Amino acid sequence: MESNARFYHRRAVEERIAAQRAVTERARDWHSKLSADFAERAAAATSVTASRHTASASAAVA
């Protein structure tokens, strides 16, 4: 199963490519917005995952 961070990162890349290929300004703006939203979600999911690993590593040391 694909992690949330990986999914959001993949979708951000796909939307960035769609924005580059868009014909109209409206479509370009929409895909750019989606790309930014997915990138933000990917960053949030990555930081949550990293903090969980740090917390579990700290617990294992203690």
The residues, ordered by sequence, that sit 6+ positions from 23 with a Cβ below 8 Å of its Cβ are none
Summarize pLDDT for 21-51 with one digit per residue, the tens: 999 999 999 999 999 999 999 999 988 766 6
Burial tier of 30 (Cβ tally within 10 Å: 0-12, 13-18, 19+)? middle
Flag whether pLDDT at 61 surpasses 60. no
| Residue 2 pLDDT | 79
E-only strand ranges, the chain: none
| Residue 49 pLDDT | 64
Between 1 and 33, the higher pLDDT residue: 33
* Residue 38 · residue 19 · CB < 8 Å: no
Residue that is written with structure tokens 């949030």 in the block:
44
| Residue 47 pLDDT | 86
Average pLDDT, the chain: 87
Domain boundaries, the chain: 4-61
